[in-house]
Structure 1
Amino acid sequence: MSQTTILRDRVKDHLLGQIENGELVIGKTINLAALSRTIGISVTPIREALSQLEQARVIKAIPNRGFVVTDLTIIEAKNLYETIAQLEVMALEASTFEPGDIEALRNKTEQLQEEKSLNNRFEFHRLLIKNCTNSVLLQTLESLKVRLRFYEQAHATDSIFFETANRQNRSIVQAIAQDNIPTAALILKMNWMAVLEHVQLKINGQTVENQNKSN
């Protein structure tokens, strides 16, 4: 691995950490000079990392302003969730599970019940498909889920959302434990579609609220 690639990956890891921690939000401009000082890396690999995130539709370049985290839309949410649902079902169907894997999934559902956080939710889905051997599929999902975090950070953080999603998580694990992957895949797709519906309702509600304020 080249030095440039290593530096670029360090920048991406730093920015992804900011996304996970809620420090990088919609509409925020990424200051290249400040970022360079913070992580001690020159501007060139930073630009390369930002270009990769732009290709993943996480950010966009605006003339005379720089890189900005892009706005959320109902159409993009629909496309993202439907695509991720299909791909994750494919990854699940291509996975095998040992008793230790099932136990790890059960433990994560219990942790999510106690600590309702997006990091735990995304970790459950990572554990669910980690045994899939299709690396291209996993990399594609990882890239799409970076953008997805912005939707869930903005619209999917209430207790009801987590409780509903985690009930379906338990059903998925139960089906896997019974060696019933088709049922697990069906519930998994329903899980993503339920989250999509929740996010769409929140976006619609926010849109109506903003329109009322402007009138």
Structure 2
Amino acid sequence: MSQSTILRDKVKDHLLSQIENGELKVGRTINLAALSRTIGISVTPIREALSQLEQARVINAVPNRGFVVTNLSRTEAGNLYETIAQLEVMALESSTFETNDVAALRAQEKVLQDEKSLNARFDFHNLLVRNCPNTVLLQTLENLKVRLRFYEQRLAADATFFDSANRQNESIIQAIEQDNIPTAALILKMNWMTVLDHVQRKIG
């Protein structure tokens, strides 16, 4: 891996951490000079990282303002969640599960029930598809989920959101245990549509 790639990924990791912590909010302008000072990296790899995040529709390049975190919309939410649901279903359908994979899902389900956090929720979904052999599909999912975090930040303090979003997890795991991947995939898609309903009602 080249030095420029390492630096670019470090910038992306820093920005993703800010998203996860709620420090990087919708409508905020990203100050390149301040970001450069904070993480000790020159502006060039920072611009490369921001360009990649722009391609993922996380931010927009606005004339005379620089890079700004993109506003949320019901239409984009619908498109985003429906696309992620379809891609995760594809990834799940091409995956195989061993006993240790099911054990990992059950352990993460318990973490999610206890913590009710976005990170725990995303970790559960990552475990569901980690055995998918299609690395392009997994990378696409990862890129889309960066944007997804902005929509779900608004729901991070809502326990009822997590209860609703988590309700089908046990059924997904049981279907996987029974080697019934079509049923697991159907419940997984329903799970994403349940979350979309919460998000769109929050946007208003």
Match in the other structure for 1:63: 63
Match in the other structure for 2:195: 195
Distance (Å, rounded) in 2 between the aligned partners of 1:90 and 1:121: 19
Match in the other structure for 1:76: 76
Once the two structures are overlaid, the 10-residue window that deviates more, 156-165 or 135-144, is 156-165
How is 1:53-202 mapped onto 2 (pairs within 5 angstroms)? 53-155=53-155, 157-202=157-202
Once the two structures are overlaid, the 10-residue window that deviates more, 69-78 or 156-165, is 156-165
C-alpha deviations, 1:155-197, integer Å up to 9, x for none? 4541111112212111101110111101000000000011111
Distance (Å, rounded) in 1 between the aligned partners of 2:152 and 2:136: 24
Match in the other structure for 2:6: 6
Q: Which blocks of at least 5 consecutive residues in structure 1 are unaligned?
A: 205-215
Distance (Å, rounded) in 1 between the aligned partners of 2:34 and 2:120: 30
**Are the equivalent residues in 2 in contact too, given 1:30–1:66 (CA < 8 A)?**
yes
For this pair of structures, how many residues does the alignment match? 204
**Are the equivalent residues in 2 in contact too, given 1:156–1:198 (CA < 8 A)?**
no
Distance (Å, rounded) in 1 between the aligned partners of 2:64 and 2:102: 51
**SS in structure 2 opposite 1:64?**
coil
1:34 and 2:28 correspond: no
C-alpha deviations, 1:106-148, integer Å up to 9, x for none? 1111111111000000000000000001000000000000000
**Are the equivalent residues in 2 in contact too, given 1:58–1:146 (CA < 8 A)?**
yes
2:174 counterpart letter in structure 1: Q
**Are the equivalent residues in 2 in contact too, given 1:19–1:150 (CA < 8 A)?**
yes
**Are the equivalent residues in 2 in contact too, given 1:25–1:69 (CA < 8 A)?**
yes
Once the two structures are overlaid, the 10-residue window that deviates more, 121-130 or 12-21, is 12-21
Q: Which blocks of at least 5 consecutive residues in structure 2 are unaligned?
A: none
1:39 counterpart letter in structure 2: I
**Are the equivalent residues in 2 in contact too, given 1:88–1:141 (CA < 8 A)?**
yes
**SS in structure 2 opposite 1:60?**
strand
**Are the equivalent residues in 1 in contact too, given 2:116–2:162 (CA < 8 A)?**
yes
Moved over 6 A (4+): none
**SS in structure 2 opposite 1:72?**
coil
C-alpha deviations, 1:19-57, integer Å up to 9, x for none? 111111111111101100111100011011001100100
Distance (Å, rounded) in 2 between the aligned partners of 1:157 and 1:88: 25
**Are the equivalent residues in 2 in contact too, given 1:60–1:67 (CA < 8 A)?**
yes
**SS in structure 2 opposite 1:67?**
strand
**SS in structure 2 opposite 1:68?**
strand
Give the RMSD, CA atoms, in angstroms.
0.8
Distance (Å, rounded) in 1 between the aligned partners of 2:11 and 2:115: 29
